[in-house]
Structure 1
Amino acid sequence: MFDIDVVTLSRLQFAATAMYHFLFVPLTLGLSFLLAIMESVYVMTGREIWRRMTMFWGTLFGINFAMGVATGVVMEFQFGMNWSYYSHYVGDIFGAPLAIEGLMAFFLEATFIGMFFFGWDRLSKVGHLIVTWLVAFGANFSALWILIANGWMQNPVGAIFNPDTMRMEIADFAAVIFNPVAQAKFVHTVSAGYVTGAIFVMAVSAWYLLKGRHIEIAKRSMAVAASFGLAASLSVVVLGDESGYLATENQKMKVAAMEAMWHTEPAPAAINLIAFPDSAKQENSFAISIPYVLGIIGTRSLTQELPGIVNLVEDAKVRIRNGIAAYVALQKVRSDKTDTEARATFDKSWRDLGYGLLVKLYRPDIENATEADIAKAAELTIPDVPLMFWAFRVMVGLGFYFIGFFAVAFWVASRHKLGEKRWMLWVAVFSIPLPWVAVEVGWLVAEAGRQPWSIEGVLPTFYAASGLTVADLVISLGIFLLIYSSLAVVEIYLMLHAIRKGPAAPERPEPQGAGVLPAAVAAEPQIK
């Protein structure tokens, strides 16, 4: 049995590096498509101002991209360093999308990003535009393969356990790629990235307008970001609903924890707007609920029940008993490969083997587990309910805030009054940290809600860790936090420096009538 302190530190180290890395990923995703849109306008209109806009936001994109690469490479090495048994157990499956991501998406993105920065005067307008779109697609392909890997951790389809090799192996690679959980996570995650990019552009542009600088570029940037952000924020909510629906099929405990639903309710279940979950008593001390809403959203029916936490624990006990039987049969198969009866028993019950392994946290000889051991193992399947409940509501609340914010910004931009609504400009500036809060708590819900599993229902987290010492992990965690914090400071400094410097001055005068503001906008007084 692994030392729980080692497992906790291993989880903390991976969580820290992942959350640092994901400070950079959503902005890369969002800015990449905004760059492509801006340059498309430049190619179609020939207006120099759109070229300057693309180059300015491209500089900020490049800074962020470099930091994302620097922080992302370390994460993949941690699977071998901190989670060696995980890599052994599911490496054949999990490693495939990571390898494809490195060979196809990352090289596509990295190759063309150099051409984006150094090809302005070496490529034709259309050629450079194609490069910019390929950078955007490369960034999204990179996210796709990572999320296919993560989606498999949430819903391990297309794989079987081989008792001869003692590993999970791919049985249907197409099922892994087209895993509905992975596809839903992909579109939801990249849409969140688009919102992040749009908020970033809105906030920086609003700051310019408040300072009376780069008025023409700021207004055009805000107009593009408002329309792009409105579409993205609407898609985040719609696609998030799809992710939640899939979770009710594949991760029922996660959904029950997100809603602090301790007991199964008659269909359709009510949704808790506010509640104060008490994990010790397994009840809510106070709750404000809306009848029927959770059942309708979660099951898209009026008759299907959503199981509560207590009921799911009872289901886990059944699966643990079946998993123990699979474990006993596996030991017989390993000692005598000709034991057909044991192999038949294992083939029938191997899908619950992971549940049986939960008992190993309390005793190594799980074949002798008592009902008390099984009950304690079943309790492990409950994630941190208060954390899940409130984190989910922060994420959803911010999602609806973004819809309202972008709707107002789009309306103001369409009326050419961006320079008049100072209150909206200040709201945009102070909104800049909110998309990062939303995406970080979103990942918290996704990953904390999967506990105690590294692979849902297949491999317990405590079973997946490497045999490192506490000292090893404390030292490496300290080094990671120091380096990543330094990179975050460098990122902020470089970003602020580039923003203060602003877009480059025009290299050549624009043709008469090109690139100028409409008369109604040009007549607006500059904000001092």
Structure 2
Amino acid sequence: MVPSDLVVDLSRWQFAATALYHFLFVPLTLGLSFILAAMETVYVTTGRKIYKEMAQFWGKLFAINFALGVATGLTMEFEFGTNWSTYSYYVGDVFGAPLAVEGLMAFFMESTFVGMMLLGWHRLSRVQHLTVTWLVALGSNLSALWILVANGFMQDPQGATFNPFTQRLELTSFVHLLFNPDAQAKFVHTSLAGYVTAAIFVVGISAWYLGKGRHVELARRSLRMAALFGVLSSVGVITLGDALGFIDGGRQPTKLAAMEGLWETEQAPASFNAIAFPSQDEQRNLYSIKIPYLLSILVKHDLSTPIVGIKQLEQEAAQRIKNGIPALTALEAIQQNPDNKQALATFDAHKQDLGYAFLLKRYAPDVAKATPAQIEKAAKDTIPEVWILFWSFRLMVAAGFAMLIFLVFATLYSLKTDCRRTGFLKIAPWFIPVPFFACEMGWVTAEVGRQPWTVYEQLPTWISASTHSASYMIFSLTGFVLLYTSFIVVEMYLMTKFVRKGPDEPGSQAGGSLAGQPVFAHPLLAPNRD
């Protein structure tokens, strides 16, 4: 029994909603943890109390974001079992490994040290507290690493082999799983995007303080550190984004062709569609503005390699569907008789295209009797929604370059000795949502571009979902949207409240009481009394 198309769509919408909500919190956690560590490092090495006040203030905002990020993230892992049971069975042996490591090694480490960081200002020495803060930053980014290793497998399944007897993908090489090029490039790209997000967050709030003439010294130094951190991170995001696009272009040509609105195969040097209005039904762009040569430079890094278009990719998919039919029929025979050597030999000869035969089964329950029309429909399914992918990619790239320009101006402004009110101070707070928007568009590009697969070329999305009723899915989707929206409201309220309140005044009891604390002889080993 397979789920209905409506249930599959609702399951996709629910996971997309929870993932996009969750990823509103993740980038800020990734980046702000390193900014806190940098601020505290300056405090420990110089002894200047202003940097301690900076770390404590931004640490409060980090804590709010971290708590709500955990609350939104935990449910996602349960959704694999509840809403994607076939997927969980099919790849659980592989997918469960990085998720288990993330939970045991990274998440628990991060959560433990977050508590010590927030409550240990007057209980730990300077060096001890600094070490804890750096461990928080390390744990945050290790969490991202293992999640992206799991996602990298879905984009480019390496390190696993399909077992025809258990009918599951089974892990064969943890090294190949971990060092999957897609996973590694995506990890660095995603982490750097988080650093940019945190940098603009700090710059925007600092600019608001400067515009109000409040907490000027803290705001000036915070703005300078965040702007410099952000410029370097923005350059890295753009560079690694290019590397990730190059990897995906070679491994997922359908994603590349859809991102570029490329219907016909382009001989080199290919033109780049800067603006286009793709029509999937007509398989053409209704309107486009092209930049000569640029596409070959961007995706192939040369001017001699042709770029395959959507129409040719559909033809290739149709051939792979035909080649996968014997694999699926052989697999069914092996299921009936595991000792059938002829069926096993046939399966081994065609197993690389088994996933394409699964696509066909959506239209032809008996794939051996599939008609050419059914094969053509299955082949068309291999192309993701072009207009979504085309525009989400361009919006992400446009936001990326806008953030780089913004952070360059922020850096130049921070170098001024006279921080008088300027247009920059008015604009900067309104720029805070831009990196969050860019991150969301990045995930839309990555995940929509993988369709129609949950595991690329191995397991189609239509067969991966659980067989719930549509009413159950509508109820749970509505519940998650309402719950997660309330989390966003709570975050906005708490963030606004603490930003308006501002950092604690020097000499206040922020971070805990000094009473009863021991005295250490060495200044770097003394508790944080100042």
Give the shorter-chain TM-score range: over 0.9
Deviations 1:22-44 (A, max 9, x none): 01000101110000000001001
Q: Structure 1 residue 487 and structure 2 residue 487: aligned? A: yes
Contact map agreement 1:80 1:87 (CA 8 A) in 2: yes
Q: Structure 1 residue 445 and structure 2 residue 445: aligned? A: yes
Contact map agreement 2:211 2:421 (CA 8 A) in 1: no
Aligned to 2:436: 436
Aligned to 1:455: 455
Deviations 1:423-473 (A, max 9, x none): 111221110110111000110010011111111111010100001001111
TM-score normalised per structure 1 = 0.95
State the alpha-carbon separation in 2 of the partners of residues 2 and 349 from structure 1.
27
State the alpha-carbon separation in 2 of the partners of residues 440 and 272 from structure 1.
22
Contact map agreement 2:296 2:305 (CA 8 A) in 1: yes
Contact map agreement 2:25 2:65 (CA 8 A) in 1: yes
State the alpha-carbon separation in 2 of the partners of residues 376 and 2 from structure 1.
19
Q: Alignment partner of 2:162: what SS?
A: strand
Contact map agreement 1:248 1:306 (CA 8 A) in 2: no
Aligned to 1:505: 505
Contact map agreement 1:198 1:225 (CA 8 A) in 2: yes
> Following TM superposition, by how much is the alpha carbon of 1:299 offset from its aligned partner in structure 2, in angstroms?
1.3
> Following TM superposition, by how much is the alpha carbon of 1:415 offset from its aligned partner in structure 2, in angstroms?
3.0
Deviations 1:117-150 (A, max 9, x none): 1111111111110100000000000000000000
> Following TM superposition, by how much is the alpha carbon of 1:347 offset from its aligned partner in structure 2, in angstroms?
1.2
CA shift in 2, pair 1:330/1:123, >3 Å: same
> Following TM superposition, by how much is the alpha carbon of 1:337 offset from its aligned partner in structure 2, in angstroms?
2.5
State the alpha-carbon separation in 1 of the partners of residues 124 and 161 from structure 2.
50
Aligned to 1:424: 424
Aligned to 2:47: 46
TM-score normalised per structure 2 = 0.94
Name which of structure 1's ranges 457-466 and 263-272 shifts more when overlaid on structure 2: 263-272
Q: Alignment partner of 1:268: what SS?
A: coil
State the alpha-carbon separation in 2 of the partners of residues 66 and 416 from structure 1.
37
AA paired with 1:219? R
- Calculate the aligned-residue CA RMSD, in Å: 1.2
> Following TM superposition, by how much is the alpha carbon of 1:305 offset from its aligned partner in structure 2, in angstroms?
1.6
Query: Percent same amino acid among aligned pairs?
Result: 54
Contact map agreement 2:392 2:444 (CA 8 A) in 1: yes
State the alpha-carbon separation in 2 of the partners of residues 96 and 158 from structure 1.
12
Q: Structure 1 residue 350 and structure 2 residue 347: aligned? A: no
AA paired with 1:187? V
Contact map agreement 1:245 1:299 (CA 8 A) in 2: yes
Aligned to 1:146: 147
Q: Alignment partner of 1:286: what SS?
A: strand
What are the ranges of 5 or more consecutive residues in structure 2 without an aligned counterpart? 509-530
Aligned to 2:249: 248
State the alpha-carbon separation in 2 of the partners of residues 331 and 474 from structure 1.
34
State the alpha-carbon separation in 1 of the partners of residues 93 and 429 from structure 2.
46
State the alpha-carbon separation in 2 of the partners of residues 84 and 7 from structure 1.
12
Q: Alignment partner of 1:450: what SS?
A: coil
> Following TM superposition, by how much is the alpha carbon of 1:421 offset from its aligned partner in structure 2, in angstroms?
5.2
State the alpha-carbon separation in 2 of the partners of residues 450 and 28 from structure 1.
26
> Following TM superposition, by how much is the alpha carbon of 1:362 offset from its aligned partner in structure 2, in angstroms?
1.2
AA paired with 1:232? S
Name which of structure 1's ranges 26-35 and 291-300 shifts more when overlaid on structure 2: 291-300
**Where in structure 2 are the equivalents of 1:255-274 lying within 5 Å?**
255-274=256-275
> Following TM superposition, by how much is the alpha carbon of 1:339 offset from its aligned partner in structure 2, in angstroms?
2.5
> Following TM superposition, by how much is the alpha carbon of 1:366 offset from its aligned partner in structure 2, in angstroms?
1.4
Name which of structure 1's ranges 143-152 and 421-430 shifts more when overlaid on structure 2: 421-430
Contact map agreement 1:192 1:439 (CA 8 A) in 2: yes
Contact map agreement 1:97 1:146 (CA 8 A) in 2: yes
> Following TM superposition, by how much is the alpha carbon of 1:52 offset from its aligned partner in structure 2, in angstroms?
0.6
**Where in structure 2 are the equivalents of 1:318-333 lying within 5 Å?**
318-333=319-334
State the alpha-carbon separation in 2 of the partners of residues 330 and 279 from structure 1.
34
State the alpha-carbon separation in 2 of the partners of residues 23 and 337 from structure 1.
48
Q: Alignment partner of 2:170: what SS?
A: strand
State the alpha-carbon separation in 2 of the partners of residues 268 and 161 from structure 1.
39
Aligned to 1:220: 221
Aligned to 2:514: none
Q: Structure 1 residue 304 and structure 2 residue 311: aligned? A: no
AA paired with 2:18? T
State the alpha-carbon separation in 1 of the partners of residues 30 and 337 from structure 2.
53
Aligned to 1:108: 109
State the alpha-carbon separation in 2 of the partners of residues 290 and 478 from structure 1.
43
AA paired with 2:332? Q
Q: Structure 1 residue 66 and structure 2 residue 67: aligned? A: yes
> Following TM superposition, by how much is the alpha carbon of 1:335 offset from its aligned partner in structure 2, in angstroms?
2.3
Name which of structure 1's ranges 299-308 and 60-69 shifts more when overlaid on structure 2: 299-308
Deviations 1:214-272 (A, max 9, x none): 00000000000110000011100000000000011111000100000001011132111
Deviations 1:491-522 (A, max 9, x none): 111111110110001118xxxxxxxxxxxxxx
State the alpha-carbon separation in 1 of the partners of residues 43 and 258 from structure 2.
49
State the alpha-carbon separation in 2 of the partners of residues 30 and 304 from structure 1.
38
Aligned to 1:19: 20
State the alpha-carbon separation in 2 of the partners of residues 269 and 104 from structure 1.
46
> Following TM superposition, by how much is the alpha carbon of 1:18 offset from its aligned partner in structure 2, in angstroms?
0.6
Aligned to 1:403: 404
Contact map agreement 1:41 1:50 (CA 8 A) in 2: yes
Aligned residues: 508
Aligned to 2:521: none
Q: Alignment partner of 2:314: what SS?
A: helix
Q: Alignment partner of 1:344: what SS?
A: helix
State the alpha-carbon separation in 2 of the partners of residues 126 and 29 from structure 1.
22
Q: Structure 1 residue 393 and structure 2 residue 401: aligned? A: no
State the alpha-carbon separation in 2 of the partners of residues 416 and 293 from structure 1.
42
**Where in structure 2 are the equivalents of 1:340-379 lying within 5 Å?**
340-379=341-380
State the alpha-carbon separation in 2 of the partners of residues 356 and 426 from structure 1.
57
Aligned to 1:205: 206
Contact map agreement 2:227 2:411 (CA 8 A) in 1: yes
AA paired with 2:192? S
AA paired with 1:263? E
> Following TM superposition, by how much is the alpha carbon of 1:289 offset from its aligned partner in structure 2, in angstroms?
1.0
Aligned to 1:524: none
Q: Structure 1 residue 87 and structure 2 residue 109: aligned? A: no
Deviations 1:366-412 (A, max 9, x none): 12111111000000011111111111110000101111111111122
Contact map agreement 2:3 2:468 (CA 8 A) in 1: no
> Following TM superposition, by how much is the alpha carbon of 1:285 offset from its aligned partner in structure 2, in angstroms?
1.7
AA paired with 1:14? F
